[in-house]
Amino acid sequence: MSDKIRVLVVDDSLVAREMIITILSSDKDIEIVGQAKNGIEAVEMTERLRPDLITMDIHMPHMNGLEAIGQIMAYFPTPILVVTASVIKEDMDLTFESLRAGALDVVEKPAPENWMGISSIGKDLIKRVKLLSQIEVITHLKGRKRPSTLPPKITKEGVKFKVIGMAASTGGPSALLEILSSLPEDFPGCITIVQHIADGFTQGLVEWLDRESKIRVKEAKEGDRLDPGTALIAPNRFHMLVSEEGRIELNKKPPVFGHRPSADVLLPSVASVFRDRSIGVILTGMGKDGAEGLKAIKEKGGVTISQSEETCVVFGMPKAAIDLKVVDRILPIDRISQEITKECLS
């Protein structure tokens, strides 16, 4: 029996399918078991072939990628990597809705001149396929909703200003949506976020989260103030930290353990400035980014929270923080917004 990773490639463009197949087939550990040109074929072939992973385009005829992901994750749960070149708003929205529907991650579609997998994009595609194929995914039933347990109204009267430093990677967009969309309009804290995501997708993520949330969500800019009721997401390729004046600073210093932005840059700055008025949150993701930052917050008297294993897509980042013994509370994703609201009111 072959130990290769069995991949189904889904794209309406023959050129794009051949390009992705050429890149992935250049790795001896990957086997292409099928290719589909629309969502209908993708669902049928997933049921028949049971691949280890699917690469999924979004904009396709007859049934688009979002609809196909919904069908697949409801009936044949399979790790799905969205591979898209979409940069226009409508298609970017579909991309992030696909993550909500159960896809694990999104990457930029390689350009035709990078066919042979020797470019950084091609290598990244192979790396992600290998990592994501090992994840045990769960069934997603469309339309299932949990009732909110948050109070309908909070008051800022007498509340001291608190800042939350939050870190996420694989599975993070959906986790961030769960948290930010559950916060009340008059949320009294400021949230600073490092989300590891492929180049070109940060602004789309920001717009998606802002539209779905009652609080303001924006991509951080140099000099931005930290205001209550605001979530600031680090721009791609920049470290983000908080200055003594309570403003955002951005820099292009070297990556930390391969990450820029890095939560281990952001979180210690939040701890240094806000001390016991800081809250650290580590969400789903691969690796250990944020564990040392969470330690800094705990040492300054702040509160530290991690997402529970059973609600993570990947438990790597929370586990690293838990193993370091710097986590005060381990919570399922649907309780984190309530917890940080309660802490901001305390």
CB under 8 A, 24+ apart: contacts of 111-118: 112/15, 112/19, 114/23, 115/19, 115/22, 115/23, 116/22, 116/23, 116/26, 117/22, 117/23, 117/24, 117/26, 117/27
Of 207, 15, 20, residue with least CA distance to 96? 207
Catalytic residue flag (residue 334): no
Catalytic residue flag (residue 196): yes
Contact 10, 21 (CB under 8 A): no
According to DSSP, the β-strands at 248-251 and 239-242 are antiparallel
Report residue 289 as tokens. Answer: 């980014």
> Which residue in the list 11, 57, 196, 262 is annotated as catalytic?
196
Cα–Cα distance for residue pair 339/206, rounded to 1 Å: 23
Backbone angles phi, psi at 94, to 5 degrees: -60, -40
Catalytic residue flag (residue 227): no
Report residue 109 as tokens. Answer: 């579609």
> Which residue in the list 133, 264, 289, 337 is annotated as catalytic?
289
Q: What is the CA radius of gyration of the chain?
A: 20
Of 273, 334, 268, residue with least CA distance to 304? 268
Report residue 335 as tokens. Answer: 């309780």
> Which residue in the list 98, 133, 169, 182 is annotated as catalytic?
169
Q: Which residue has the tokens 């944020």?
A: 290
Half-sphere exposure of 228 (CA within 13 A, CB side): 18
**Helix residue ranges, H only, the chain:** 14-25, 39-49, 65-75, 89-101, 120-132, 172-180, 202-212, 263-274, 291-299, 316-323, 333-345
Give the active site residues. Answer: 169, 196, 289
